[in-house]
Amino acid sequence: MSASRSTDAQTGGRGRLPTESASMTDLDSGTGDFDDSDAASTRVDLYGTSHQLRWPRDVTLVDTMIAAGIDVPYSCKEGHCGSCAATAVRGEVKMANCDILEPDDLAEGLILGCQATPVSDDLHIEF
């Protein structure tokens, strides 16, 4: 079969755009099966509701909230978009990748939930 005919078969005929489909596998089961033996006690205020969480030291805030069934705002989970920006009202977090926050933002307590892991034992985060 010629390349032209092969392309026609893939696109459904001349003049049509090819279609693609993809599926993603969620590697996080969302069951909250994190080891929280050394987790921080965390209050998260989101959309007017307070949530009490055990936040494992090696898991980001966004992943912890997703596992707890909380509809947390996020998009890229890479520290580039700012969708998960929040304020650390109490406590200290460690930020992995933080391309979009300026030093002044960090000094004011702004964090990215997708890049933050707890340092303090007791935290209060506001979205």
In this predicted structure, the answer to whether residue 32 has a pLDDT above a threshold of 70 is no
Just give the CATH number of 38-126.
3.10.20.30
Spatial distance between the Cα atoms of 7 and 99, rounded to a whole number of angstroms:
41
Extents of the domains making up the chain = 38-126
Per-chain mean pLDDT for the chain: 83
43-84: per-residue pLDDT in tens? 999 999 999 999 999 999 999 999 999 999 999 999 999 999
Task: State the pLDDT at residue 98.
Answer: 87
Q: State percent of the chain over pLDDT 70.
A: 72
